[in-house]
With several copies, the nearest count.
Chain A
């Protein structure tokens, strides 16, 4: 079976934080593994800016959204930022249905996310 952490495809440091690249369909079979990886990353790096590259994510369901909301809250509590970029249409769609499209900070690309 597919690995449960298969949605986390690596991370790179930024001057003021870190970019994590997510990949593949993020559904209930994948989001628990992704959640662990991202919480580990945040605990290790305490990034003032956490950028998530979603350009390789064609699909996300509410379990993936819940993981992002959890990160959003954790970053807010730490007075730090969460910025998303590279949203594919279906991911945009679920953000709209969940009324989160105006809550998350969404940049058009990595350059934008570095400055958002």
Chain B
């Protein structure tokens, strides 16, 4: 999973305008890797939420910082799946604060992490090996994964 060896790797600077660029890439990649159009659309949403969170929360709106997206077909416990890794160079992020809120209260905000967890089969935030940023690893199975209900 080291940088530079993914099947597809995108690096963009943290401009909100480039979210659309990443979405176009992810949508086509997801379909080429076997997702139907509807599932590809959900995967796109999850990646978009993850990147927007890096821009807003990680980089505090700075527009010249790097974000990497790596996409690879993998086996997840024997099942065909696709792995999406989002990586940043954000310093000092408190991983414990990255969590979804209960949805019973209707208020703006606090939906992104929920969406990511709902769409993906596996979601794992960790500090980058070199300590200089956050790596979000998301896995979506081609079949059978489905969107899960309930908080994870």
Contact = CB atoms under 8 A, between A and B. Distances in A.
Q: Do A and B come from one complex?
A: yes
Contacts of A94: 45, 115
B85 interface: no
A61 B112 CA distance: 8
Contacts, number: 77
B16 interface: yes
B106 interface: yes
Contacts of A99: 103
B81 interface: no
A98 B147 CA distance: 13
Contacts of A70: 108
Contact of B106 (A2, A25, A29, A100): A100
Interface stretch (B47-55, B90-98, B131-139): B47-55
Given A61-B49, A61-B52, A63-B52, A27 B106 contact: no
Nearest to B118: A97
Contacts of A8: none
Interface string B36-79: 00100110010011001001100000000000000000000000
A99 B45 CA distance: 15
Interface string A46-78: 000000000000010111011101101100000
B115 A69 contact: no
Contacts of B32: 1-2
Given A28-B52, A62-B115, A66-B111, A89 B19 contact: no
B108 A27 contact: no
Interface string A84-106: 00000110011001111001000
B41 A93 contact: yes
Contacts of B106: 69, 72-73, 100, 103
Interface string B82-117: 000000000000000000000100111101101100
Which of A63, A73, A94 gathers the greatest number of chain B CB atoms within 10 Å? A63
Contacts of B30: none
B111 A29 contact: no
A60 B118 CA distance: 16
A61 B38 contact: no
Interface of A: 1-2, 25, 27-29, 59, 61-63, 65-67, 69-70, 72-73, 89-90, 93-94, 97-100, 103
15 contacts: A1-B32, A1-B34, A2-B17, A28-B19, A28-B55, A29-B16, A59-B23, A61-B45, A61-B48, A66-B108, A66-B111, A69-B108, A93-B45, A97-B118, A98-B114
